[in-house]
Amino acid sequence: MTPSAPQLALSFTKLPDIMYSRVEPTPVQQPHVLLLNQPLALQLGIDEAWLPSDQALQVLSGCASLAGEGAVATAYTGHQFGHQNPRLGDGRAHLLGELMDTDGQRVDVQLKGSGQTPYSRQGDGRSPLGPVLREYLVSEAMAAMGVPTTRSLAALASGEYVWRDGGAEPGAILTRIANSHIRVGSFEYAAMQGVECVRQLADYTLSRHFSEAKPGALPYLHLLQAVMAKQAQLIAQWMSLGFIHGVMNTDNMLVCGQTIDYGPCAFMDGYDPRQVYSFIDRQGRYRYDNQPGIGQWNLVRFAETLLPIMGDERSEAINLAQQALNDYQQQYEQAYAQRMAAKLGLPSADADLVSELLTIMQAEQLDYTLTFRYLMTQLSSNQTEHSMPQGVVQASDALLVWQKKWLAVVSKLGDETQALNLMAQHNPVFIPRNHCLDAALKAAYKDDMSLINELLEATAKPFAYRPQWQHLAMPPKTKEVIANTFCGT
């Protein structure tokens, strides 16, 4: 029996024509499969037999299309490192269509690296192998940790070369799934077109993402508040995991609240709030501890686009937006405090305890991820002696003193088993560490996908320690430390 192909529709094309361009992917020479995500296909309601089929290979490499409306590239602008770049848009991505997943949620199916579009500017519309595999791996690891994120359905080699920095690299195409690809930058672009265009994009966004809440008399204020709330939660979650996005431009912030764009991102090894990895972020604008503030900066750009539709009087609209934006700070802080409390097994926030621990971790350059796993091993009800590689965190006197205080709080508040359960849900042991990812990508360039597959398997269950993957849980040795990450477009 031939597998049935997914049914794609396009609601995005109801928006004004200026918001997109109809353009098909450019076929490639000799596509072949690198990675397929069957569990995700299942969640999306895609026939299990379809993803490995020849038709899927053709469609997901841009060599054939499914019956339907045809593909589009979407238009957007954005503030990149604080400066507006008026015309961006999908320069190397094609939205093939939307499908309904098994929860009845409409999701975008997008190819990335699939050829030029009217928004390509000087770019070739393609992507090298490294960034595609990197995005696949990190986005899936984030999803497994429960972080809202775009997903990766497939990574295909194009069988063609792309030219980067004067050298040839194998090309690849990612199939990305997102609740939508509507960005803060999409709103900035709509605002450049005029009030009517923003209103239509805002109405579309409300009905696609925020239809469950009754917006009342002020739908666009509601939209701002809803987007803000999602970003406050998302960034708090990144911070709690030591995740540094690296390129929080407004075109890389989705209004649906999913993480997008895994270019130069990284998880920090030793705790340092000033950590920057991205090679292009020379001023440290997007460093770890700037992320919550940058989130707010981006939301101010978002609010500005909504002002003309938010109230009859501009001053009234500004007041409403201002109040909403002030709430962001508080929502973020609450969300962060709650997540950090959970990492310590506590039912409610304890800011002093957290900041004292972080001060020790910073002074002693303790590994961010494994310090919390180490704390799990200190609970007496512990069945988690082997919940991390042995002997990685050596407790200093300062940490031992802090630990005593923390244990006293845990026992005062109740049950150690409960604390341990909470900690086990909030402290991953397997993250895609920079040095492991780097080694896996280097191997993939030599046609060896085994390290990528190992890392995928370990990070698919980030909270469950399995000793056979011990090397993937270990912090880097001095000579393995990766100081810089590259955007690698």
Give me the residues that bind ligand AMP (CB under 6 A), please: 88-92, 119-120, 123-126, 251-252, 261, 263, 487, 489
Question: Least distance from C-beta 123 to Mg ion, angstroms?
Answer: 12
Query: Would you count residue 108 as binding Mg ion (CB under 5 A)?
Result: no
Residues 435, 247: Cα–Cα separation, whole Å: 20
* Dist. CA 34–CA 157, nearest whole Å: 6
Contact present, 467 and 105 (Cβ < 8 Å): no
For residue 113, the minimal CB distance to ligand AMP (Å) is 8
Q: What's the min distance (Å) between Cβ of 272 and ligand AMP? A: 25
Rounded CA separation 66/57 (Å): 12
Residue in this structure with the two tokens 């998302």, named with its chain if needed: 234
Mark whether 251 is an active-site residue. Answer: yes
Point out which residues pair with 84 in neighbouring strands. Answer: 79
Rounded to 5°, the CA angle 463-388-269 comes to 85
- Which partner from the list Mg ion, ligand AMP, none does 120 bind, CB cut-off 5 to 8 Å by kind? ligand AMP
Residue number with the shortest CB distance to ligand AMP?
123
Find out whether 482 and 435 touch, Cβ atoms under 8 Å: yes
Shortest reach from residue 115's CB to Mg ion, in Å:
17
CA–CA gap between residue 179 and residue 233 (Å, rounded):
17
> Interface with Mg ion by CB under 5 A: which range of 60-68, 253-261, 312-320, 404-412?
253-261
Which position among 251, 281, 350, 367 bears the catalytic label? 251
371: exposed, middle or buried (Cβ count in 10 Å: 0-12, 13-18, 19+): buried
CA-only gyration radius of the chain, Å: 23
**Residue 252 is a binding residue for Mg ion (CB under 5 A):** yes
Decide whether 240 or 249 has the Cβ nearer to Mg ion: 249
Closest CA relative to residue 305, chosen from 457, 465, 184: 184
> What does 240 interact with, of Mg ion, ligand AMP, none (CB < 5 to 8 A by kind)?
none
Nearer to ligand AMP, 114 or 225 (CB): 114
Give min distance, CB of 252 to ligand AMP, in A.
5
Question: Are the C-beta atoms of residues 177 and 109 closer than 8 Å to each other?
Answer: yes
Q: Which is nearer to ligand AMP, 114 or 205 (CB)?
A: 114
End-to-end Cα spacing for the chain: 40
- For the bound state, the minimum distance from the C-beta of residue 55 to ligand AMP, rounded and expressed in Å, comes to 27
SS3 label, residue 375: helix
Q: Which stretch binds Mg ion (CB under 5 A): 5-13, 257-265, 277-285, 332-340?
A: 257-265
Applying CB under 5 A, which of residues 135, 140, 169, 261 lies at the interface with Mg ion? Answer: 261
Q: SS3 for 185?
A: helix
Q: Identify which of residues 261 and 367 has a Cβ nearer to Mg ion in the complex.
A: 261
| The amino acid at 284 | G
* Residue 123 contact partner, candidates Mg ion, ligand AMP, none, CB within 5 to 8 A by sort of partner: ligand AMP
Chain contacts with Mg ion (rule: CB under 5 A): 252, 261
Show which residues are catalytic.
Answer: 251
